[in-house]
Amino acid sequence: MRNLPPIALLSLLAGLSWSCSRSDDDAESQVDPGSLTGMVWIPGGEFSMGSTEGELNEMPVHTVRVKGFWMDETEVTNAQFREFVEATGHVTLGEKDFDPEDYPDAPPETLKAGSLLFQKSDGPVPLNNHMLWWKFIPGADWRHPEGPESSIEGKDDHPVVCISWDDATAYAKWAGKRLPTEAEWEFAARGGLRNQTYAWGEEFTPSGEHQANLWQGDFPHENSAEDGFATTAPVKSFPPNGFGLYDISGNVWEFVRDWYDPDYYIRSPEFSPDGPTMEQVLDPGRRIRPGSDRRPQLATTPHKVIRGGSFLCNDCYCKGYRPSARQITDMITSTNHTGFRCVKSAPGPQGE
Ligand SMILES: [Ca+2]
Ligand SMILES: [Cu+2]
């Protein structure tokens, strides 16, 4: 699974009904409140997962029930991630050179420590080749998210970026938390609304007000930053959703726990789905719908799911900020538009 050069694997941009929230006072009182700072309680319930108006991988809409859980009210920030690194000495993927022995065919410059950074194009470009606006930059990592000369000074409250899925998982473990499942993430993102297109409702900019840090202007060359931010925004710059979650749409994509299967919704269980196994994702005999994503790298390398969209999302390209939108990421790339938030199961019958 690690025999292609990292750059060959870059594939990050592929192209409710809510009821039954019972009283959760019991679950709340069983958890150590000190460890729940910055988290909000997401009452379990039933919802319609997916969308009839999105991509094929959001279909079919199906009923899912999740248990209640705690979720970080914001994306994990640079300050929080620094605390983890200082406590553990963790070195992120983007700070490590790849071993040429693992990638004998790769050009050496692609094996340097670094991250994939968004680069504005000079003018309009075809939107079917994301390598026209992504570039691997050696020396770009979570402390240098715009390249080796950049820093995160003054950005303590921005979401951490240029980290990998494994880095996010390591942080979660250290914090006594975990990454959410896709189902938990989408249930939470909907904020208690039923079958709405956006986390805040059906209207994109109610009263003309931007609800999330997205991209305005012609992608990928003209970013008017009408919402106030050209790249990441400090967390809590926009109003929270109905569950009190900030930046659940836009700002940065968020890693979730599940392996990516574009056809998972035709086989998803109803109760607490937690995604396919890695073996299932790579099983050549699995059922694939006509029209579903068949890029060859999906058949040989398992990918993870990212959710929520980023400051690069816009209505002409990916609309990734919709709560139902699903995108993929590989395991060996760090980018400056992907971060994460964590969850914590509640003990007792409503938790795990
Ligand atoms: Ca913006
Ligand atoms: Cu997008």
Q: What would the pLDDT profile of 298-322 be if each residue is shown by its tens digit?
A: 888 999 999 999 999 998 778 999 9
Q: Where residue 27 falls among pLDDT bands split at 50, 70, 90?
A: very low
In the predicted model, what is the mean pLDDT of residues 50-76? 97
Nearest ligand (C-alpha, residue 335): 2
pLDDT of residue 316: 74
Nearest ligand (C-alpha, residue 227): 1
Kindly give the distance from the C-alpha atom of residue 31 to the centroid of ligand 2, in angstroms, as a whole number.
Answer: 36
Kindly give the distance from the C-alpha atom of residue 200 to the centroid of ligand 1, in angstroms, as a whole number.
Answer: 17
Kindly give the distance from the C-alpha atom of residue 120 to the centroid of ligand 1, in angstroms, as a whole number.
Answer: 14
Can you give the three-state secondary structure of 38-104, one letter per residue? CEEEECCEEEEECCCCCCHHHCCCEEEEECCEEEECCCCEHHHHHHHHHHHCCCCHHHCCCCCCCCC
Give me the percent of the chain exceeding a pLDDT of 70: 89
Nearest ligand (C-alpha, residue 312): 2
Nearest ligand (C-alpha, residue 314): 2
Kindly give the distance from the C-alpha atom of residue 314 to the centroid of ligand 1, in angstroms, as a whole number.
Answer: 9
Kindly give the distance from the C-alpha atom of residue 299 to the centroid of ligand 1, in angstroms, as a whole number.
Answer: 34
pLDDT of residue 343: 98
Residues 180-200 as b/e (b if ≥16 CB within 10 A, e otherwise) read: bbbbbbbbbbbbbbebbbbbb
pLDDT at 242 over 90: yes
Kindly give the distance from the C-alpha atom of residue 231 to the centroid of ligand 1, in angstroms, as a whole number.
Answer: 6
Name the average pLDDT for the chain.
90
In the predicted model, what is the mean pLDDT of residues 70-96? 98
pLDDT tens for each residue of 248-304: 999 999 999 999 999 999 999 999 999 999 999 999 998 999 999 888 888 889 999
pLDDT of residue 35: 82
CATH number for region 37-92+116-127+150-346: 3.90.1580.10
pLDDT at 19 over 50: no
User: What's the pTM value of the predicted model, to 2 decimals?
Assistant: 0.90
pLDDT tens for each residue of 197-214: 999 999 999 999 999 999
Nearest ligand (C-alpha, residue 249): 2
pLDDT tens for each residue of 87-139: 999 999 999 999 999 888 888 887 999 999 999 999 999 988 888 999 999 99
Lowest mean pLDDT among 96-110, 139-153, 158-172: 96-110
**Torsional class of 277: left (φ above 0), alpha (ψ -120 to 50), beta (otherwise):** beta
pLDDT of residue 348: 65
Type of residue at 24: D
pLDDT of residue 13: 38
Ion ligand 1 — residues with CB under 5 Å?
Answer: 213, 227, 229, 311
**Can you tell me whether residue 299 is helix, strand or coil?**
helix
Kindly give the distance from the C-alpha atom of residue 320 to the centroid of ligand 2, in angstroms, as a whole number.
Answer: 5
pLDDT of residue 25: 43
pLDDT of residue 299: 86
pLDDT of residue 43: 96
In the predicted model, what is the mean pLDDT of residues 163-188? 98
Q: Where residue 15 falls among pLDDT bands split at 50, 70, 90?
A: very low
